Every structure is written in C-alpha cells, then in structure tokens.
Amino acid sequence: MAPGQLMPLASTVKILIAIEFAKQASHHLINEDTRVPLIDPAKYYIPFTNGNAHPKWVLYKKKAGHIVNDSIRLIDIGRGMILFSSNANGEYLMDLLGLSDINSNLHLLHLSPHTPLYYFSSALFFYQNPKKVGEDRIAEAIRSMSPADYMRAANLIHLEVNDHVQRTWHRRNQ
C-alpha cells in the first residue's frame, strides 16, 4: 500500500453502495419493490463474520412479516445493509448495481485518491486455509500482493462464488 493511499473504511463503503442504489432507483434502473429470493444475498454470507449481521437481519424481517415465499423486497436488502451492516447484502447490491457505477461515486464525492471498491466479502476467502498451510505463509502471500492484485483476486473469487451457487442451484432444480 502506498503512503497516504486512502482505503475503504470497513462498513462506511456501504454508504457509497446506498448512494448508487438511490441513484438507480430514482432513474428507474432498478425497482426497489422487486422481490428477491433470500438465497441471493445469502450466498455472500460467511458464517461468524460481521457480528452475524445477516442472520440477525433475516430474523428481524421474518418477525416483521416482510419475508414472503422466501423472498424480500430489494429496498429491504438495502436497508439491511445499512441498518444491520450486512456484508452479504452489501456484496449482493454491489453485484446488482455494478462496481463501476458504485465506484463512479468516488469521483462524484471527490474521494480521490480513494481505492476503488471491490467485493469485500469475497476477499475474506483469502484467509481460509483448506490445505492447512501455515498461517504465516498465507499472511505473507497476502501482504506481498499489490492493492490492484488484491482487488482483482477478490473480484475473481466473487465470480467463482456466483458460478458455484448457480451450478448448485441448477443441480438441485433439474
């Protein structure tokens, strides 16, 4: 990381996603009342991260009666991202709204030289250790990545998660 380089500050990046959500809804590019299967944002939930914000949001919405046929309104996904700080909802919305459109708000808000947003939930998969490699080796490999390489790798993982979920869904529904 370069000295003085601005990096996304955890959940504050969700404000940029919310701004893009509002812009696209106001221009009728998305319909905030569209019902979305709960499984769609859930595919980005990584258990025991983010203070379990996502399952807390789902439970709240169930109790409120907002879940119908295992679906929720798009606006409720956005609200869950902000009010509960659900990373899964944030990543879902990033995918729906488009990273380039969200990142255009960095310029709009004069937040340069800010690092562009990337799929932050997917980046957590860097820290998984299925081959039981020494944690110090994993940490060193991540540290040696440039910010651009880190973002590219997180974006590739995001695509792999989407591909895996789609293949699993097709197998279950054939």
Query: Each residue of 124-170: pLDDT tens digit?
Result: 777 765 566 677 777 787 788 888 888 888 888 888 877 665 555 44
Residue 117 contacts residue 70 (beta carbons within 8 Å): no
Residue 81 contacts residue 17 (beta carbons within 8 Å): yes
- SS3 at position 9: coil
Where residue 51 falls (left for φ over 0; alpha for ψ -120 to 50; beta otherwise) is left
Indicate the DSSP class of residue 68: B
pLDDT band for 19, please (50, 70, 90 cuts): very high
List 37's β-bridge partners, or say none. Answer: 71
Tokens of 108: 């709009």
Q: Which of 4-18, 37-51, 55-69, 93-107 has the lowest mean pLDDT?
A: 4-18
Q: How far is CA 48 from the centre of its chain?
A: 16
Residue 87 contacts residue 50 (beta carbons within 8 Å): yes
Residue 173 has pLDDT above 50, yes or no: no
Among 44-58, 81-95, 153-167, the range with the most confident prediction by mean pLDDT is 81-95
pLDDT: which is higher, 24 or 160: 24
pTM higher than 0.85 = no
Model pLDDT, residue 139: 77
Residue 99 contacts residue 18 (beta carbons within 8 Å): no
